[in-house]
Amino acid sequence: MIALTQTAIAFGRIDQRLRHHPLLPAILFRERLEASRACAAVDGHLIDPWRLAAELEGLRVVPLGCDVFERGSSVDAAHAAFVQYQWLVKPDEAQRNAIESALGWLSEHSKASGPLLGAATAFHAWVEAGHARAPMRTALIRHWRRTDILHFPLPLVGARSFVPEAPWRPSEWLPYFLNCLNEEVAAVEDRTRALEQSWRQARSKSGGQRCTSRADKVIDLLAAYPVVSATRLSAELGLSLKAAYIYLERFLEEGLIVEVTHRAARRLFALKDLEPLREIVRPPKRPQPGRKRGRPRKSESQETCPPEEDVDIRPIEPAPTFAPINYEELERAIDHAERVIRRHRPD
């Protein structure tokens, strides 16, 4: 099977490239975001991975849309992606039990067909038996490590193999699933290449330093983690908090890093290629320059929706009116009913 051979080669290539990689923590973080986004997208929940990253870091994000329906859809998508992320990274007790059951299923089917083809066969049989896909996806990550295909928990789960237009007959779905895994490996290599380029550029532009300079170490730590605070930088590298801020402010001026929190009380920094995360995070509220304290004037208030948006300005129809109730007729009807009841009540 050509798909099996190509996927096996791709797994060996990515394992050799990322094993002992200095940026492996950052790579795994980004790939978990991408895997969670892809798994949620298969179920119809579309979310930007940077928005999911901001939600996981506890940052205030810019709301989407101008009405409650659009914002509700974005909240649903974030929740769906977060649930997928929880399955992949931090499952609870009930989820761990389901994952162990899926691992046993994988082990049983991998004995005869091998780790790759056996995993594809087990996944198809698992879903055919009516089980959920999320436990098997996490079980696959652990299965790759148990069988020594990968030496790190890279989330290769073949999410796109469950799109509505995917075939389902085993003879067609098994190579389709393996091809999806191959595509995921290629995407990981592309994102890793972009991260490495950003890291090397930042190190080369940090400038000539003295032998006691920690500039390279600061860049390495910023590359290894998605977002870093000055406090964490100080603790990890043994710097004073003032020295950590000096490095960060200098790198900000040189354009090597970005501050994703817009100079909020909790300042977080990242490499330049994480600039999309800054656009997702909502800047803190600050007073307008030149404006005094108190509620702004009515003329200064801003519209919730942009002016070019189509807004229904048709007049509201008047509420329907009803004729008043005639209580005299109602009382006469009640008296008549009581007389009839007393007349036919047995003594």
pLDDT tens digits, 94-151:
999 999 999 999 988 877 788 999 999 999 999 999 999 999 999 999 999 999 999 9
Is 318 among the domain residues? no
Sole residue written with tokens 């000539």: 208
Hey, CA dihedral for 275, 280, 281, 285, is it positive or negative?
positive
- Whether 314 has a pLDDT exceeding 50, the answer reads no
- Whether 219 has a pLDDT exceeding 60, the answer reads yes
| CA–CA dist 335, 325 (Å, integer) | 17
pLDDT tens digits, 249-292:
888 888 888 777 766 566 778 777 766 666 666 565 555 666 66
Is 332 among the domain residues? no
**Domain shared by 24 and 162, yes or no:** yes
pLDDT at 304: 43
**Domain shared by 215 and 264, yes or no:** yes
Alpha-helical runs (H) found in the chain: 2-18, 24-42, 49-56, 68-89, 93-113, 115-128, 133-146, 170-204, 215-224, 230-237, 241-253, 275-280, 327-344
**Domain shared by 19 and 154, yes or no:** yes
Q: Across residues 180-184, what is the average pLDDT? A: 95
**Domain shared by 186 and 94, yes or no:** yes
**Domain shared by 166 and 22, yes or no:** yes
**Domain shared by 185 and 209, yes or no:** no
Is 300 among the domain residues? no
Q: Which residues constitute the domain of residue 269?
A: 205-280
Last residue within a domain, chosen from 223, 249, 280: 280
**Domain shared by 168 and 65, yes or no:** yes
Is 290 among the domain residues? no
Is 18 among the domain residues? yes
Query: Residue 261 — φ and ψ, nearest 5°?
Result: -100, 10
**pLDDT above 70 covers what percent of the chain?**
73
Rounded to the nearest integer, the mean pLDDT of the chain is: 79
Q: Which of 177, 152, 187, 189 is nearest to 35 (CA)?
A: 187
**Domain shared by 183 and 218, yes or no:** no
Range with the lowest mean pLDDT among 32-41, 139-148, 230-239? 230-239
- Whether 39 has a pLDDT exceeding 80, the answer reads yes
**Domain shared by 145 and 246, yes or no:** no
Last residue within a domain, chosen from 130, 164, 192: 192
- Whether 75 has a pLDDT exceeding 90, the answer reads no
DSSP state of 146: H
Is 31 among the domain residues? yes
pLDDT tens digits, 2-28:
899 999 999 999 999 999 898 898 899
| CA–CA dist 35, 137 (Å, integer) | 10
pLDDT at 201: 82
Q: Are 141 and 32 in contact (CB under 8 A)?
A: no
**pLDDT above 90 covers what percent of the chain?**
33
Tokens of 329: 């007729």
Is 186 among the domain residues? yes
Domains contained in the chain, number = 2
| CA–CA dist 76, 226 (Å, integer) | 24
- Whether 55 has a pLDDT exceeding 70, the answer reads no
pLDDT at 198: 82
| CA–CA dist 315, 187 (Å, integer) | 52
- Whether 208 has a pLDDT exceeding 60, the answer reads no
Tokens of 239: 């710097």
Which amino acid is located at 308 in the chain? E
pLDDT at 67: 59
Tokens of 116: 């790759």
Is 220 among the domain residues? yes
Last residue within a domain, chosen from 157, 192, 227: 192
**Domain shared by 185 and 211, yes or no:** no
**Domain shared by 165 and 22, yes or no:** yes
**Domain shared by 147 and 218, yes or no:** no
Tokens of 227: 């977002």
